[in-house]
Structure formats: structure tokens, C-alpha cells
Structure 1
Amino acid sequence: MSRSSKAVVSFIVGAAVGVAVGYFLNSDKKDELVEKLRFQADKLKDKFRAKKQQFEDAMENELT
């Protein structure tokens, strides 16, 4: 693929993503989408904290 065709494809993909984001932000489902994203972010934070605690416990056990 040539450099100019990659640029055109990138532009089209970027424009499509922009349109999709704009649609969701202006739709009635915006609040629902934001709530789902917050929920998933909270779950990810909880998983990270649990893994961090496991790592800290394993390191402590290894050093004692």
C-alpha cells in the first residue's frame, strides 16, 4: 500500500470514529454509555488493586 493510500484510509477511519463518537455524545444513550464506561473502569481498578496486593504479599513473603 502506498503512503498516500495509507493516509486516505487513516483519514476515513478517523472520520468514522469521530462520527461515531459524536453520535453517541449527542444521543440519548450518552448517559448510559458513560455509566457503563465508569463501571468497567471501576472493575479494572479493583482488579489492578487486587493484583497489586497479591504482588506485595508475595514480595513480603519472599523477603521474610
Structure 2
Amino acid sequence: MNNSSKAVVSFIVGAAVGVAVGYFLNSDKKDELVDKLKYQADKLKDKLKKKKAEYDNALEHELA
């Protein structure tokens, strides 16, 4: 796939995502979508904090 094909595909995907986000933000389900996104973001943040703590402990153990 050449660069211009990749650019066209990227543009189409980006436009589709933009349309979907715009639709949801203008719909009655906006608050529900925002709550779900916040929940998923919090879960990801907690998971990353846990992984960082595990990594820090493993690194500390290796250096000790």
C-alpha cells in the first residue's frame, strides 16, 4: 500500500470516527457515553498504576 492510499484510508477512518463522535455528542445518550468513557478511562488508569507499581517493585528487587 503506497503513501497516498494510506492517507486516503486514514482520512476515511478519521472522518467516520468524527461523524460517530459528533452523532453521540448531539444525541440524548451523550451523558451515558461520557460516563462510560470516564469509567473505562478510570479502569485503564488503575491498571496502568498497578503495572507501574509491579514494574517498580521488580526493578527495585533486581537492583537490590
Give the alignment's TM-score, normalised by structure 2. Answer: 0.74
Q: Name stretches of at least 5 consecutive residues in structure 2 with no aligned partner.
A: none
- Per-residue CA deviations over 1:12-64 (Å, capped at 9, x if unaligned) read 54443332222101111000000000000000000000000001101111111
**RMSD in angstroms over aligned alpha carbons?**
2.4
Q: Tell me which structure has the larger Cα radius of gyration.
A: 1
SS of alignment partner, residue 57 of structure 1 = helix
Task: Assess, with a 3 A threshold, how the Cα gap between structure 1 residues 58 and 29 changes in structure 2: closer, same or farther.
Answer: same
Gaps of 5+ in 1: none
Give the equivalent residue in structure 2 for 1:20: 20
Supply the distance in 2 between the matched residues of 1:32 and 1:39 (Cα, whole angstroms): 11
Q: State, as a whole percentage, how many aligned pairs show the same letter.
A: 71
